[in-house]
Amino acid sequence: MGSDALFYVFGAFAIAASLLVIAQRNPIYSVLLLIASFGALSGLYVLLDAPFVAVIQIIVYAGAIMVLFLFVVMLLNAPREDTQHDERVLPLLREGPTRFGGALAIALVVELLWALTRRPQAGSFAGAGVSSVSAIGRSLFTDYGFAFEATSVLILVAMVGAVVLARRDPVIRNRTATRGGR
């Protein structure tokens, strides 16, 4: 019974925080609410007997990735978003990207309704044995070894790319310029 009550608490918290993320006008508050939502999700993972995934969720998403988000928002000093369009017109009838967002929202609602009306299938969920640290490590480095290594190479490429793009070294720029001229 206790874990049922906790499920509803965490679930309600996650949904409320996620809704507030998009309802906020101030981007800093959006980032913080997203962190809160990740925290609630991590609580749900604990209830599913997956403490490792729960902690990794906090370390990777709430800890590492959201700090970068916060930095970007803070350093760009993103202003409060103010609506420039007429609030009385429905999103789907508005000009520009808002229309696309409205279409996506409708698709999301339809998908959610479809998912919620289906009955849960027994046995489709992997057991708690997979959630132990050694089991996760083993399957990550054997069954999913290729995907794991390919992802790490992808991240490395992205990192090198970011360094190259951000670098403002006149020597290197001149060298590329002459190479391009040849």
**In the complex, minimum distance from the CB of residue 16 to another protein, in angstroms, rounded to a whole number:** 17
Give the C-alpha separation, 6 to 79, whole Å: 37
- Give the torsion sign (CA, 82, 87, 92, 94): negative
**In the complex, minimum distance from the CB of residue 175 to another protein, in angstroms, rounded to a whole number:** 25
CB nearer to another protein: give 133 or 150.
133
CB nearer to another protein: give 68 or 115.
68
Part of the chain binding another protein (CB under 8 A), chosen from 7-15, 65-73, 120-128, 149-157? 65-73
- Phi/psi zone of residue 26: left (φ > 0), alpha (ψ -120 to 50 degrees), beta? beta
**In the complex, minimum distance from the CB of residue 31 to another protein, in angstroms, rounded to a whole number:** 10
Interface with another protein, residue 112, by CB under 8 A: no
Give the C-alpha separation, 29 to 36, whole Å: 10
* Tokens, residue 60: 């990777």
**In the complex, minimum distance from the CB of residue 94 to another protein, in angstroms, rounded to a whole number:** 31
With contact defined as beta carbons under 8 Å apart, do 69 and 35 qualify?
no
**In the complex, minimum distance from the CB of residue 52 to another protein, in angstroms, rounded to a whole number:** 6
- Amino acid letter at 116? L
CB nearer to another protein: give 14 or 57.
57
Residues in the chain: 182
**In the complex, minimum distance from the CB of residue 59 to another protein, in angstroms, rounded to a whole number:** 5
Give the C-alpha separation, 167 to 177, whole Å: 15
Part of the chain binding another protein (CB under 8 A), chosen from 1-9, 12-20, 28-36, 168-176? 28-36
CB nearer to another protein: give 14 or 54.
54
| Closest by Cα among 44, 95, 39 to 66 | 39
Cβ atoms within 10 Å, residue 155? 10
Part of the chain binding another protein (CB under 8 A), chosen from 68-76, 96-104, 108-116, 153-161? 68-76
* Tokens, residue 67: 């700090």
Judged by the rule CB under 8 A, the positions of this chain that interact with another protein are: 28, 32, 35, 51-52, 55-56, 58-59, 62-64, 67, 70-71, 74, 133
